[in-house]
Amino acid sequence: MLSSLGKIKNPFLRSITTASTFLSMVTLISAVAIGLTNPQDKSANKIGVYASLLATAAGAAFGLAVKDKSTTRQGKIIQLQPEHNHTWQDWRDFEIFRKVPESKEITSFYFKPQDRGALPDYKPGQFLTIKLDIPNQPRPVIRTYSLSDYTFSGDYYRLSIKREGSPKGLNVPPGVASNFMHDRITEGSIIPCKPPNGKFFLDVESSIPAVLISNGVGITPMISMAKACSRFNPNRHLWFIHGARNGEFHALRDEVNAIAENYNNLHIHYRYSRPRPEDEGQYHSQGYVDKKLLEDSILTEISQIYGSSSAKFFLCGSPSFMDSIKDGLRELDVPENNVYFESFGGGSTKGQSKTVATNQAAVDKAEVVFAKSGQTITWTKDDGTLLEFAEANNINPDYSCRQGVCLTCMCQLQEGAVEYLEQPASEPDEGSVLICISQPKTAKVVLNL
Ligand SMILES: Cc1cc2nc3c(=O)[nH]c(=O)nc-3n(C[C@H](O)[C@H](O)[C@H](O)COP(=O)(O)OP(=O)(O)OC[C@H]3O[C@@H](n4cnc5c(N)ncnc54)[C@H](O)[C@@H]3O)c2cc1C
Ligand code: FES
């Protein structure tokens, strides 16, 4: 009851609510007591009336005393935070309750848990893993999508998904999951999801300036970061640099502009490569986001404010875009450990600071124990990655990107060691490995599969 009362912001409304609740409770209790003992006794009836009046007054006072839960100790109003400890294991069904087109290619989907339970908090920049039953696919299709909002009410998640067409010049089918989402998922559809995850997130409390650089659908985690910072650390300066072809392809522009209205330290720069006449006034410069823009504008502004151009850089976009920005930052002497990036797939981006031994030869042969399935099978080099090897032996672990990006295939390594064929773009948890890009490195490997 206390927590429900705390949600009523108006103190008079809260007072009236508690007064009437107390009145009803005490009147009911007195009526039952008098009825059971001596209904004819006038003095007992009087006591009942006094008790009810007293309860009403006490209820009114109590209602005024209960604190509005959205008021901090300093009296500054902040939104209620999402519940932190309600994470779930494995898959949980979510219902789509809104579907909103955001640009020519990108549509947002709003997810609510079907059980209407609480949602765990997440770090701005993290992603959600979803599972889709798509007709004619041999098994459920699993994909990861960045959470594109940072909700203070904590009662829904939002994903903004780009429709992936077939690559130019290739006669291959268009993207399976993204097209299914756009064409077949409607309000009311149910989608199983795993809890938010991912190592690419903004350290909101830090005072070091941050530069968020994105193109295309890479804008999604950046919106979450900018919103969280506007709420929890508005003294921190944040640069929001986004590249798009033109206004038709620029998703969520108004939403980002709206964040800046209440967050003076958010510096926005939109750069359009092929602006249309009607985009006039909606973008800041023409061309591609490149080293020169960073050097001439952003680093200069940071230096003017902070006296040094030291900052953290967060990158998300197409692989070629990120490679060129990373090269540019390196040439501008930005230390590697100040550069964070997320790849959405479609080719790996150049790693900078990973320490995985990729140049050592793997063993030619190994005993692989799949502990959960109780199978021990001999792996040889021709069997490929541990994921391919598991699949060939009818053990079907979850996967999505198959590129060491999304962490979907992450698996606990109980014994032995693995060798990565390419550097993982996302670091797995301690004691776990990404089986989509690894092979045995020791004669025996035990996986929790
Ligand atoms: C951490 C993370 C966060 C992400 N966040 C987002 C996000 O916020 N928004 C978003 O839109 N996406 C995001 N993605 C990307 C997303 O997970 C999917 O990869 C994307 O939607 C494409 O999936 P799909 O099933 O539609 O395409 P797929 O079916 O996987 O196909 C991908 C591409 O390959 C092409 N293709 C198909 N067959 C072949 C073939 N034989 N040879 C060559 N090419 C072929 C397809 O035409 C398509 O262009 C994220 C990815 C990661 C890893
Ligand atoms: S399947 Fe994405 S990291 Fe392995």
**pLDDT tens sequence across 402-446:** 989 899 999 999 999 999 998 888 889 999 999 999 999 999 999
In a domain, 348, yes or no: no
In a domain, 202, yes or no: no
DSSP tally for the chain: helices H, then strands E:
10, 19
In whole angstroms, what separates CA 7 from the centre of its chain? 26
Cβ proximity of 249 and 216 under 8 Å:
yes
If we measure between CA atoms, which residue out of 167, 122, 166, 168 comes closest to residue 145? 122
pLDDT band for position 85 (50/70/90)? low
314 pLDDT above the threshold of 90: yes
Instruction: Name which residue sits closest to atom 52 of ligand 1, judged by CA.
Output: 344
CA dihedral for 147, 153, 154, 155, sign (positive or negative): negative
Helix ranges (H only) for 37-116 are 42-65
> In a 3-state reduction of DSSP, which class is residue 338?
helix
66 pLDDT above the threshold of 70: no
Q: Token digits for 288?
A: 């591609």
Cα of 408 to ligand 1 centre, how many Å?
14
Q: Which ligand is nearest to the CA of 319?
A: 1
In a domain, 163, yes or no: yes
pLDDT-wise least confident of 92-106, 159-173, 219-233, 337-351: 337-351
Provide the pLDDT for residue 427: 86
75 pLDDT above the threshold of 90: no
Cα of 171 to ligand 2 centre, how many Å?
25
Q: Are residues 337 and 219 in the same domain?
A: yes
Q: Which residue has the higher pLDDT, 340 or 33?
A: 340
In a domain, 72, yes or no: no
Q: Are residues 221 and 243 in the same domain?
A: yes
CATH number for position 332: 3.40.50.80
Instruction: Name which residue sits closest to atom 10 of ligand 1, judged by CA.
Output: 161
pTM of the full structure: 0.80
Provide the pLDDT for residue 50: 72
Cα of 303 to ligand 2 centre, how many Å?
39
Q: What is the mean pLDDT of residues 157-167?
A: 97
Q: How far apart are CA 34 and CA 45, in angstroms?
A: 7
Q: Which amino acid is at 236?
A: R
In a domain, 141, yes or no: yes
Counted domains in the chain: 4
Q: What is the mean pLDDT of residues 231-249?
A: 97
Cβ proximity of 246 and 286 under 8 Å:
no
124 pLDDT above the threshold of 60: yes
Q: How far apart are CA 278 and CA 419, in angstroms?
A: 53
Q: Are residues 415 and 373 in the same domain?
A: yes
| Contacts (Cβ under 8 Å, ≥6 apart) of 292 | none
Q: How far apart are CA 95 and CA 387, in angstroms?
A: 31
| Contacts (Cβ under 8 Å, ≥6 apart) of 360 | 419, 441
2 pLDDT above the threshold of 80: no
Choice from 139, 142, 200, 408 to test ligand 2 binding pocket (greatest atom count within 8 A of CB): 408
Structural domain harbouring 51: 2-65
Q: What is the mean pLDDT of residues 244-253?
A: 98
Q: How far apart are CA 238 and CA 228, in angstroms?
A: 11
353 pLDDT above the threshold of 70: no
Q: What is the mean pLDDT of residues 295-318?
A: 95
Q: How far apart are CA 148 and CA 158, in angstroms?
A: 6
Q: Which residues of 286-313 are buried (b: 16+ CB within 10 A; e: fewer)?
A: eeebebebbeebbbebbeeeeeebebbb
Q: Which residues pair with 190 in a beta bridge?
A: 95
205 pLDDT above the threshold of 80: yes
Cα of 206 to ligand 1 centre, how many Å?
32
CATH number for position 156: 2.40.30.10
Q: Are residues 246 and 327 in the same domain?
A: yes
Domain boundary, last residue among 173, 197, 221: 197
Helix ranges (H only) for 185-331 are 219-232, 253-261, 291-293, 300-306, 319-331
Cβ proximity of 226 and 193 under 8 Å:
no
Within 6 A (CB) of ligand 1 lie 127, 143-146, 148, 160-162, 164, 166-167, 170, 172-178, 198, 217, 220, 342, 344-345, 401, 405-406
Domain boundary, last residue among 276, 309, 343: 343
Please report the DSSP string for 366-386 in residue order.
Answer: EEEEETTTTEEEEEEGGG-SH
Cα of 163 to ligand 1 centre, how many Å?
9
Cα of 93 to ligand 2 centre, how many Å?
22
Q: How far apart are CA 380 and CA 415, in angstroms?
A: 18
Q: Are residues 26 and 134 in the same domain?
A: no
Q: Are residues 215 and 189 in the same domain?
A: no
Q: Are residues 369 and 438 in the same domain?
A: yes
pLDDT band for position 76 (50/70/90)? very low
Q: How far apart are CA 152 and CA 263, in angstroms?
A: 16
Choice from 131, 405, 438, 449 to test ligand 2 binding pocket (greatest atom count within 8 A of CB): 405
Cβ proximity of 224 and 254 under 8 Å:
no
65 pLDDT above the threshold of 60: no
Q: Are residues 251 and 332 in the same domain?
A: yes
Q: Are residues 319 and 406 in the same domain?
A: no
Q: Token digits for 73?
A: 């100790």
At how many degrees (to 10) do helices 42-65 and 11-36 cross?
160
Q: Are residues 224 and 312 in the same domain?
A: yes
Q: Rounded to 10 degrees, what is the CA torsion of 203, 208, 209, 212?
A: -30
Q: What is the mean pLDDT of residues 54-78?
A: 47
Q: What is the mean pLDDT of residues 169-196?
A: 97
Q: Which residue has the higher pLDDT, 259 or 21?
A: 259
Q: Are residues 270 and 319 in the same domain?
A: yes
Cα of 35 to ligand 2 centre, how many Å?
71
In a domain, 325, yes or no: yes
Cβ proximity of 129 and 406 under 8 Å:
yes
Q: Rounded to 10 degrees, what is the CA torsion of 231, 233, 235, 240?
A: -70
The 10 Å Cβ neighbour count of residue 167 is 11
Provide the pLDDT for residue 405: 87
Q: Are residues 274 and 372 in the same domain?
A: no
Q: What is the mean pLDDT of residues 83-112?
A: 90
Cβ proximity of 378 and 366 under 8 Å:
yes
**pLDDT tens sequence across 283-294:** 999 999 999 999
At how many degrees (to 10) do helices 253-261 and 219-232 cross?
20
Cβ proximity of 202 and 233 under 8 Å:
no
Provide the pLDDT for residue 358: 42
Provide the pLDDT for residue 350: 43
CA dihedral for 83, 84, 89, 93, sign (positive or negative): positive
- Using CA atoms, how far residue 155 sits from 81, 114, 236, in Å, is 10, 11, 27
Cβ proximity of 339 and 315 under 8 Å:
yes
Choice from 122, 172, 223, 344 to test ligand 1 binding pocket (greatest atom count within 8 A of CB): 344
Q: How far apart are CA 206 and CA 228, in angstroms?
A: 12
Domain boundary, last residue among 166, 197, 228: 197
Q: What is the mean pLDDT of the chain?
A: 86
In a domain, 379, yes or no: yes
In a domain, 324, yes or no: yes
As a 3-state breakdown, the chain gives helix, strand, coil percent values, each rounded to 5, of 30, 25, 45
Q: How far apart are CA 192 and CA 355, in angstroms?
A: 35
